[in-house]
Amino acid sequence: MELQCTVQNYDWGKLGSDSMVAKLLSSADSKVSIDASKPYAELWMGTHPNGPALIIDRNVLLGDYIKDNLDAIGPVVKSKFGVSVPFLLKILSIRKALSIQAHPKKEHAEELHKSFPDMYKDPNHKPELAIALTPFEALCGFRPLSEIKIFLTKLPELTEILSADSVSALLAQEDQGDQNILKQVFHLLMTASKDALASSLSKFLTRLEKEDASVQLSLLYQLVQRLHSDFPGDVGCWAPYFMNYLELRPGQAIFLKPNLPHAYISGDCVECMACSDNVVRAGLTPKHIDVPTLVGMLDYGSYTKDELLFNPKLEDENCCIWRPPVPDFAVAKIKVNGDDEPYNTIIRPSPSLIIVTSGSGEICDTEPIPARPGVVVFLKASRQLTLTPAPGSHLEAYQAICNV
Ligand SMILES: [Zn+2]
């Protein structure tokens, strides 16, 4: 069943047809006209009330259809999650950084929602998976301590606004040291005054402007300058010295497990997550930062870049799958070349949301649908979709399912 999905025009989205979201939208439906000055940030595929998908032929919301057609969900998913699609599949097109954030564990999310229902509207956890479609920049997880220590010795402007004792204690740590010391230093950073942050950042950027290119490169000048021009004086501009800076190539992915700090900076990606809004913010945002909750919950473990990359498993010649360690979702990437036989998707005990991201041809469950980038379909549990590329073309699609 072909779906019409919701676009979110958040301010941080890429503009006009620079945006992958806009490109997919206009390719799927030639009646859509793209406004060059408007941000096209996210395409939502799922049943979330803030952006529910519509079944085009039936003119019925997918969420309503499922309630009346239990076979769409299948018994395995129904017994685990109830009558719902427990995940949300998205395309993101990012022009400027999203807030640094972390998502609480399920039990913590329930507690936060109970104690502060106005701030934490959702009791569910929100693990996320992001797969790069274009070169994609992100901050993710705390760096190895050895890297943080090198930065601290080279950044007097930063250490000035922290306590000298805590900084020396951190510098004295071995690589697998006491995570509480890093937590203390991070707490000091998060509670620094607005004035101290603004003046430290401006001092640092003024100094770096005059340094030679190699020093600028080693101290991430371009990145911090970019963050600072979008979020002047924001505590998050100091975050790249504590967090890993990742540049993903198309096809590379990261899994954001609970409490892992992260921020998407730029690029286009496929994102899949448990259906939830649960975000605790840490910077690069005009929104409220709940410092005690944030500092208390974060994962202060050190990660190398390689440890953060999340690799897919090959299922057959045409399909690989990213299976995170949560039951809520997994994402498969399907690629069929023009000279391949038509490809039948693997039968899953779960409903699927599938988006065609490139190529042309036909996709078929019971009725054939012309396939072009941006076409989104819902496939019932335990059914198979046949992908047939047009001669000389190919078909590439992403399929989100429950990880059951
Ligand atoms: Zn997130």
Could you tell me the distance, in angstroms and rounded to a whole number, from the CA of residue 284 to the centre of ligand 1?
13
Give pTM, 2 decimals.
Answer: 0.95
The whole-angstrom separation of Cα 294 and Cα 334 is 38
Same domain, yes or no: 268 and 323:
no
Q: Quick check: is 387 in a domain?
A: yes
Q: Quick check: is 298 in a domain?
A: no
Q: Quick check: is 327 in a domain?
A: yes
CATH of the domain at 38: 2.60.120.10
Same domain, yes or no: 132 and 271:
yes
Same domain, yes or no: 151 and 131:
no
Q: Quick check: is 355 in a domain?
A: yes
Mean pLDDT by 10 residues, the chain (404 residues): 95 97 95 96 94 95 94 93 92 96 90 86 87 98 95 96 93 84 94 96 97 97 97 96 98 96 97 86 85 92 96 97 96 94 96 97 94 97 96 96 96
Could you tell me the distance, in angstroms and rounded to a whole number, from the CA of residue 154 to the centre of ligand 1?
30
pLDDT, tens only, 247-285:
999 999 999 999 999 999 999 999 999 987 788 888 888
Q: Quick check: is 301 in a domain?
A: no
The whole-angstrom separation of Cα 308 and Cα 325 is 14
Same domain, yes or no: 106 and 44:
yes
Same domain, yes or no: 162 and 225:
yes
Could you tell me the distance, in angstroms and rounded to a whole number, from the CA of residue 100 to the centre of ligand 1?
8
Same domain, yes or no: 93 and 150:
no
**CA–CA distance from 346 to each of 75, 325, 335, 339 (Å)?**
18, 20, 13, 20
Q: Quick check: is 123 in a domain?
A: yes
pLDDT of residue 276: 75
CATH of the domain at 234: 1.10.441.10
281 belongs to the catalytic site: yes
- Spacing of C-alpha 202 from chain mean position: 30
Phi, psi of 35 (to 5 degrees): -90, 120
Same domain, yes or no: 133 and 171:
no
Task: Tokens for 50, please give them.
Answer: 């803030």
Catalytic residue chosen out of the listed positions 95, 143, 281, 372: 281
pLDDT of residue 84: 85
Same domain, yes or no: 24 and 48:
yes
Could you tell me the distance, in angstroms and rounded to a whole number, from the CA of residue 130 to the centre of ligand 1?
9
Same domain, yes or no: 89 and 35:
yes
Could you say which DSSP state residue 152 is in? H
Q: Quick check: is 114 in a domain?
A: yes
| Residue at which a domain ends, from 243, 273, 303 | 243
Same domain, yes or no: 81 and 155:
no
| Residue at which a domain ends, from 243, 259, 294 | 243
pLDDT of residue 97: 95
The whole-angstrom separation of Cα 11 and Cα 41 is 7
Could you tell me the distance, in angstroms and rounded to a whole number, from the CA of residue 102 to the centre of ligand 1?
6
Could you tell me the distance, in angstroms and rounded to a whole number, from the CA of residue 94 to the centre of ligand 1?
13
The whole-angstrom separation of Cα 246 and Cα 248 is 6
Which residues does residue 348 pair with via DSSP β-bridges, in sequence order?
Answer: none
Q: Quick check: is 112 in a domain?
A: yes
The whole-angstrom separation of Cα 330 and Cα 259 is 20
Could you tell me the distance, in angstroms and rounded to a whole number, from the CA of residue 297 to the centre of ligand 1?
14
pLDDT of residue 120: 82
The whole-angstrom separation of Cα 267 and Cα 178 is 35
| Residue at which a domain ends, from 243, 267, 296 | 243
Following CA atoms 57, 60, 61, 67 in sequence, which dihedral angle do they give, to the nearest 10 degrees?
-120
Could you tell me the distance, in angstroms and rounded to a whole number, from the CA of residue 128 to the centre of ligand 1?
6
Could you tell me the distance, in angstroms and rounded to a whole number, from the CA of residue 317 to the centre of ligand 1?
31
Task: Tokens for 164, please give them.
Answer: 């000298």
Could you tell me the distance, in angstroms and rounded to a whole number, from the CA of residue 101 to the centre of ligand 1?
6
Same domain, yes or no: 124 and 215:
no
Same domain, yes or no: 108 and 165:
no
* Total domains, the chain: 3
Name the residue range of residue 201's domain.
Answer: 143-243
pLDDT of residue 103: 92
**CA–CA distance from 264 to each of 95, 131, 133 (Å)?**
10, 12, 13
